[in-house]
């Protein structure tokens, strides 16, 4: 199954997407993404750059986000308005924010409701200043992952959880061991709450393909299957930081089939827009 919407794309407005090609040209410019999307036959892109609403707040101790405030949304929108976009390609602006503390995304509900899609990560343990587990033992990581996930899902207004349970295995260890350590009753409760609140889980193409997360596809598979059975729906994002990452890969498509996911399991961008009254 090939999906025609990519709902997680980073441009050079994200600090981690500023690479250049051999000719010195940026590989994550909106213009080049548009060209690539047309070549791939994609119909929708949501640009989801890393974003915090108030990077100057005293409690904002995550240095990664110091330049990721409202100006990037404004500048991206200005740039998109200058570009020629084919009639059959829809472009939207969302964001990938951060969770600064349990239940505290770095974006307000009021602003979130004005954006096409807000992705909220809860396991960016590689960033200094974000909430961390007590240790990186499988049990401590499992407990912390579930606690953080529940704290954001309970808010109810978050659109989707970015790359759930994902992190580099060089930091957290074998993700299969973390899944084994999870309280399965608690996991079921949190997934059921996500279904009840209408909070989606992201299927992240980059995480599924990542050599730095060799066991993520295996670990995340039963989570997705259980979530689907409970009524949770999903988003798909390549998490592209360069042109070559855009869209679904053959590995992604094979994983969808293994997980039993169908097109109807994925929320469309128009569904998010309709829910927010943005159509």
pLDDT value for 56: 84
Provide the token pair at 235: 């988003």
pLDDT value for 63: 84
Residue written as tokens 């809860």? 122
Residues 6+ apart with CB under 8 A from 173: 136, 138, 141
Beta strands in the chain (DSSP E): 5-9, 44-47, 90-93, 95-96, 99-101, 104-105, 118-120, 160-161, 200-204, 234-237
User: Regarding beta strands 95-96 and 200-204, do their DSSP bridges make them parallel or antiparallel, or are they unpaired?
Assistant: unpaired
| Domain map (residue ranges) of the chain | 5-272
Counting Cα atoms < 13 Å in the Cβ hemisphere of 239 gives 20
- Structure confidence at residue 62 as a pLDDT band (50, 70, 90): confident
pLDDT value for 195: 98
Assign domain 5-272 to a CATH class.
alpha beta
Provide the token pair at 151: 């704290």
pLDDT value for 51: 96
Name the more confident of 146 and 57: 146
Residue 42 and residue 91 in contact, taking contact as beta carbons nearer than 8 Å: no
- Structure confidence at residue 20 as a pLDDT band (50, 70, 90): very high
Please give the average per-residue pLDDT across 88-100, as a whole number. Answer: 97
Mutual orientation of helices 184-197 and 138-153 as an angle, nearest 10°?
A: 20
Q: What pTM does this model have?
A: 0.97
Residue 164 and residue 122 in contact, taking contact as beta carbons nearer than 8 Å: yes
pLDDT, one tens digit per residue, over 216-232 is: 999 999 999 999 999 99
User: Regarding beta strands 90-93 and 200-204, do their DSSP bridges make them parallel or antiparallel, or are they unpaired?
Assistant: unpaired
Please give the average per-residue pLDDT across 29-40, as a whole number. Answer: 98
Average pLDDT, the chain: 97
Please give the average per-residue pLDDT across 134-144, as a whole number. Answer: 98
- Residue 59 burial class via C-beta count within 10 angstroms: exposed 0-12, middle 13-18, buried 19 and up: exposed
62-66, 107-111, 230-234: lowest mean pLDDT where?
Answer: 62-66
How many residues comprise the chain? 279
The alpha carbons of the chain give a radius of gyration, in whole angstroms, of 18
Of 118, 121, 122, 120, which is closest to residue 132 (Cα–Cα)? 122
pLDDT, one tens digit per residue, over 141-175 is: 999 999 999 999 999 999 999 999 999 999 999 99
- Structure confidence at residue 275 as a pLDDT band (50, 70, 90): very high
């Amino acid at each position: 199954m090939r999906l025609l919407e990519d709902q997680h794309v980073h441009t050079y407005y994200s600090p981690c997407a500023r690479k250049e090609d051999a000719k010195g040209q940026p590989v994550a410019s909106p213009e080049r993404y548009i060209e690539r999307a047309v070549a791939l036959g994609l119909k929708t892109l949501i640009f989801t750059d890393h974003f915090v609403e108030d990077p100057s707040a005293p409690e904002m101790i995550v240095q990664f986000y110091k330049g990721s405030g409202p100006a990037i949304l404004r500048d991206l929108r200005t740039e998109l308005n200058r570009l020629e976009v084919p009639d059959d390609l829809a472009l939207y602006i969302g964001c990938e924010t951060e969770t600064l503390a349990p239940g505290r995304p770095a974006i307000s509900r009021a602003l979130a409701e004005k954006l096409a899609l807000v992705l909220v990560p809860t396991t960016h343990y590689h960033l200094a200043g974000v909430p961390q587990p007590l240790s990186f033992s499988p049990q401590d990581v499992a407990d912390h992952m579930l606690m953080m996930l529940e704290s954001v899902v309970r808010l109810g207004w978050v659109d989707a959880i970015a790359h759930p349970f994902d992190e580099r295995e060089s930091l957290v260890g074998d993700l299969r061991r973390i899944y084994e350590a999870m309280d399965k009753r608690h996991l079921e409760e949190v997934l059921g709450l996500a279904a009840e609140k209408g909070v989606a889980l992201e299927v992240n193409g980059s995480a599924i393909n990542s050599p730095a997360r060799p066991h993520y596809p295996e670990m995340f598979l039963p989570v997705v299957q259980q979530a689907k059975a409970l009524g949770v729906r999903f988003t798909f994002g390549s998490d592209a930081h360069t042109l070559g990452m855009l869209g679904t890969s053959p590995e992604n498509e094979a994983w969808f089939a293994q997980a039993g996911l169908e097109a109807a399991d994925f929320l469309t961008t128009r569904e998010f827009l309709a829910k927010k009254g943005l159509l």
